[in-house]
Every structure is written in C-alpha cells, then in structure tokens.
C-alpha cells in the first residue's frame, strides 16, 4: 500500500496537468522523427565519405550521442504515455510511484548521451587546436580523433551512470516520489560539473571565434592556400563544426534557462500557494520534461543544417567532390588513396579503373570545390574533363569538343 499523501501528489501532478501530457506527446513524436533522420544522415555521411576522416569520425560520434539521447527520450515518454493512455486510474499510483532505481533505469541512457553532446564542443575545439598547432597528417589526425572520442565517452559514462550517488549523497534508494525530477537531476543540474561544462563551452567558443576571425582575412587565406594546405582544409571544415558548436552551446544554455528552479523562485516571489509542496512538484515535473523535450528538437535542427551541407546540388558536382575527397582525404596513406571500393554505388569505379579515376581527379575543374581545387595541380584548369559514370568513359567538356570539331 502506498501512502495516501503520495497518491494525492501523483493525481495532482498528472491528472489535470495538460501541458505535461502535451510534452510527453511532443517528446515521443519529435524523438521518433529525429531518430530516423539522424540514422539516415549518419549513413549518408559514411557512404558519401563526406569530410576528411578525422572530422567525419568526430561528427559521427556527435550524431551517435544525439541518437542515444533520442532513444532515451523515447523510453521515458513511452513509459509515461502508456500509463496515461492504457492504465486504469486506480493503478496510476503504482505506475507513477518512482524510486531512485526506477528513475535511474529510465534516465540512464539519456543522461550519458546528453553529457556526450555537451562535451562534443570541447572535442571539436581540442582536435582543431592540436591540428593547427602541430600540422598533423591525416593518419595522425584520425588516431587523435579516436583517442578524443574514447576519452569523451568514458567521461560521459562515468558522469551519467550514477550521477545521484556521485553528486547527491542524501539519495535514498527506497524513497518513493511522484516524478523523477526530485530523484535524478538533469545534466545541467549536476552540481559537481556545472561550472566545468560552462568553462568548456566558453573555451570552445573562444578557440573557434578567434580562429574564424583570424583565418577569415583574405591575405591569410590566400597564403594558407599556397603554403599550408592542411591548415586551409581544416578551416574549410570549420564552416561546419563552428555552427555545430554554437548549436551545442545554445542547447546547454536553453537547458539551464528551462531549469524549474528559476521559475519556482520567480513565482514564489509574486504568488503564495497553500499547497506549496504540490505546486512545487508540478512545476518541477513540467520544466524537467521541457529540458528533455528540447533535445530532439535541437537534433532536428542539426539534421537540417548538416543535410544541407552534404547534399549535392547536382550529380556531376557530387561525383567530382566525392572522388576528390577520396584522394584528398587519404593522400598520406596509399591504402586510403586507392580505396575506391566504397564508391562503387555512386561512382561505378572498380580496381581496374583506379589509374583512370586518379587521372580524372587530377584534371577536375578548379571551380568544383575549394576543398578539392586546393589540392589539385596548378595546370588542372587547362584541360578540364568530366567522367561519364554510366558508360565508363572520359569525355571532354562541350566547349573543347566543339572547338576540336572546328
């Protein structure tokens, strides 16, 4: 039997709280949609070999964190929706009576993933800073990215796995509460790492802002294009990673602002309530779920940004850029430079045509893409050629073919 007071709190929190029920629906639908979109995006980035290897690894790790966070949102929303929609009213006191262990199971994957999302901005900044400072080769940058990803997920797992026992020593495993907001904190409420995460976000913003302002100067860019092509390539990828960092920081700030404690303090200053305890439970639950719902919404925005950056404007440009990235991204290792088997689906290349494909890449137009033209020979614009992937032959541009006939 559950105490009558607890059942009364549960009825007050759930039965007449329509905004809370609406948030559960928002979490379910947006998390489901975001999950599908992110999986498709990750497959496209991997199949099309977008970006260089080390940047691709960091972006895919970031997408994995978003996917796991969406799965965590789905688990929480599905559990609470099935109680509201399918369970009898007289059993809700049982289903909505949470212990610390119950909430720990429901929120575990979400908390680990959100910490991974928050630390992704620092991983992007550290990788860029080391690459700029030591002029690392592609193979070295790849291993650096793998090391940073391993450290990131190790720290995220340690922090998110048992946060309440790490940062709240008064937790009682047998205490029953009407909502997890009073038992398991959100990552922005982790007292032990709040200022650490805040400092890491400030560090990432400073690194990227300074580098972006410095490298945006035309003279610096022109010198990098001819002297330090590796650093120039890194700056090109910053056009993708810098907006991602801004979105991560915005997500963190939004979660801090949506913390129910801020609203409770403001309302308590202007309004007195005789049922203060019940009112606090309702507001904590509402804003706790708002912090959860904003994660899949941000995931959809990130999907829209990245899909726009990688989606080809026309088939020829996509074929040129994909083939160019294969050689540019792996010129430090022969095995990577000759790895055309992953492009068979889109480029129809095979091992027997490696030399011909390499010849085509060396003569791509200079205007095809900054990330490609930077690494091409200086005489590549003299005889531009296009590759007919359907018929497997080399054809010159229409202007040159017309001039040859004359």
Q: Where are the beta strands (DSSP E) in 178-270?
A: none
Based on the number of CB atoms within 10 Å of its own CB, is 152 exposed (0-12), middle (13-18) or buried (19 or more)?
A: buried
Considering the domain architecture, whether residues 271 and 379 belong to the same structural domain is answered as no
pTM, two decimal places: 0.76
Look up tokens 């995460």; give the residue.
Answer: 197
Considering the domain architecture, whether residues 156 and 240 belong to the same structural domain is answered as yes
- Which residue, of 310, 329, 356, is where some domain finishes? 310
What's the angle, vertex CA 216, arms to CA 212 and CA 217, rounded to 5? 135
Of the candidates 312, 103, 127, the residue with the CA atom closest to the CA atom of residue 204: 127
Considering the domain architecture, whether residues 254 and 328 belong to the same structural domain is answered as no
DSSP 338-386: T--GGGHHHH---GGGHHHHHHHHHT--TTS-HHHHTTS-TTTTTS-EE
Q: Does the CA dihedral 207-210-213-216 come out positive or negative?
A: negative
Q: Does the CA dihedral 158-249-252-104 come out positive or negative?
A: negative
**Residue 176 DSSP one-character state:** -
The pLDDT of residue 132 is 77
- Which residue, of 310, 325, 359, is where some domain finishes? 310
Considering the domain architecture, whether residues 231 and 352 belong to the same structural domain is answered as no
What's the CATH code of the domain at 276?
1.20.1070.10
Considering the domain architecture, whether residues 277 and 191 belong to the same structural domain is answered as yes
Q: How many CA atoms lie within 13 A of 186 on its CB side?
A: 28
- Which residue, of 282, 310, 338, is where some domain finishes? 310
Considering the domain architecture, whether residues 293 and 332 belong to the same structural domain is answered as no
The pLDDT of residue 168 is 52
Considering the domain architecture, whether residues 255 and 321 belong to the same structural domain is answered as no
Of the candidates 331, 348, 266, 255, the residue with the CA atom closest to the CA atom of residue 296: 255
Considering the domain architecture, whether residues 218 and 335 belong to the same structural domain is answered as no
Question: Bridge partners of 386?
Answer: 395
The pLDDT of residue 9 is 87
For 212, the token pair is 């972006």
Q: What's the number of domains the chain is made of?
A: 2
Considering the domain architecture, whether residues 302 and 352 belong to the same structural domain is answered as no
Residue 185, phi then psi, degrees to nearest 5 = -75, 155
The pLDDT of residue 283 is 80
Report mean pLDDT in 10-residue bins for the chain, 406 residues: 79 87 96 97 90 90 98 96 91 90 90 95 92 79 94 92 57 76 83 86 92 69 61 75 94 87 63 51 87 96 94 58 50 34 38 50 46 40 38 40 48
**Residue 334 DSSP one-character state:** H
- Residue 59, C-beta contacts closer than 8 angstroms, at least 6 positions apart: 45, 51, 240, 241, 244, 306
Considering the domain architecture, whether residues 131 and 275 belong to the same structural domain is answered as yes
The pLDDT of residue 41 is 96
Round to whole Å and give the CA distance between 137 and 131.
Answer: 8
User: Distance of alpha carbon 269 from its chain centroid, rounded?
Assistant: 38
Question: Bridge partners of 393?
Answer: 388
Considering the domain architecture, whether residues 324 and 178 belong to the same structural domain is answered as no
What's the angle, vertex CA 346, arms to CA 340 and CA 352, rounded to 5? 35
Burial pattern 270-302, b for ≥16 Cβ within 10 A else e, equals eeeeeeeebbbbbbbbbbbbbbbbbbbebbbeb
Provide the residue range defining the domain that includes 393: 315-405
Q: Is the separation of the CB atoms in 330 and 354 below 8 Å?
A: no
Considering the domain architecture, whether residues 96 and 152 belong to the same structural domain is answered as yes
The pLDDT of residue 269 is 66
Round to whole Å and give the CA distance between 298 and 173.
Answer: 33
Round to whole Å and give the CA distance between 367 and 126.
Answer: 32
């Amino acid at each position: 039997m559950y105490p009558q007071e607890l059942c009364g709190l549960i009825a007050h929190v759930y039965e007449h709280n329509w905004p809370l029920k609406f948030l559960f629906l928002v979490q379910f639908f947006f998390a489901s949609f975001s999950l599908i979109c992110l999986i498709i995006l990750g497959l496209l980035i991997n199949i099309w070999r977008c970006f260089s290897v080390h940047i691709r690894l960091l972006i895919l790790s970031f997408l994995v964190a978003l996917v796991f966070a969406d799965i965590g949102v789905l688990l929480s929303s599905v559990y609470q929706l099935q109680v509201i929609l399918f369970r009898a009213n007289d059993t809700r006191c049982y289903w909505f009576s949470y212990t610390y262990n119950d909430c720990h199971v429901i929120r575990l994957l979400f908390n680990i993933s959100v910490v991974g999302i928050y630390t992704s901005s620092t991983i992007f900044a550290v990788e860029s800073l080391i690459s700029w400072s030591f002029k690392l080769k592609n193979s070295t940058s790849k291993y650096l990215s793998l090391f940073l990803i391993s450290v990131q997920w190790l720290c995220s797992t340690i922090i998110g796995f048992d946060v309440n026992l790490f940062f709240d020593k008064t937790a009682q495993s047998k205490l029953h509460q009407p909502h997890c907001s009073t038992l398991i904190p959100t990552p922005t409420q982790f007292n032990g790492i709040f200022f650490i995460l805040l400092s890491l976000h400030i560090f990432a913003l400073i690194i990227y802002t300074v580098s972006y302002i410095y490298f945006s100067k035309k003279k610096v860019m022109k010198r990098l294009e001819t002297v330090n092509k590796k650093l120039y390539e890194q700056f090109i990828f910053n056009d993708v990673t810098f907006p991602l960092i801004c979105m991560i920081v915005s997500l963190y700030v939004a979660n801090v602002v949506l913390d129910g404690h801020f609203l409770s303090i403001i309302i308590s200053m202007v309004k007195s309530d005789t049922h203060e305890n019940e009112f606090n439970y309702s507001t904590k639950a509402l804003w706790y779920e708002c912090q959860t719902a904003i994660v899949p919404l941000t995931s959809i925005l990130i999907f829209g940004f990245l899909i726009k950056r990688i989606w080809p404007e026309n088939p020829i440009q996509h074929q040129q850029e994909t083939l160019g990235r294969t050689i540019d991204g792996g010129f430090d290792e022969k095995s990577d430079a000759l790895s055309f088997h992953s492009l068979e689906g889109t480029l129809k290349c095979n091992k027997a045509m490696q030399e011909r494909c390499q010849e085509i890449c060396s003569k791509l137009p200079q205007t095809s893409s900054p990330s490609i033209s930077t690494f091409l020979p200086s005489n590549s614009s003299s005889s531009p050629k296009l590759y007919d992937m359907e018929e497997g032959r080399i054809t010159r541009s229409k202007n040159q073919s017309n001039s040859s006939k004359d």
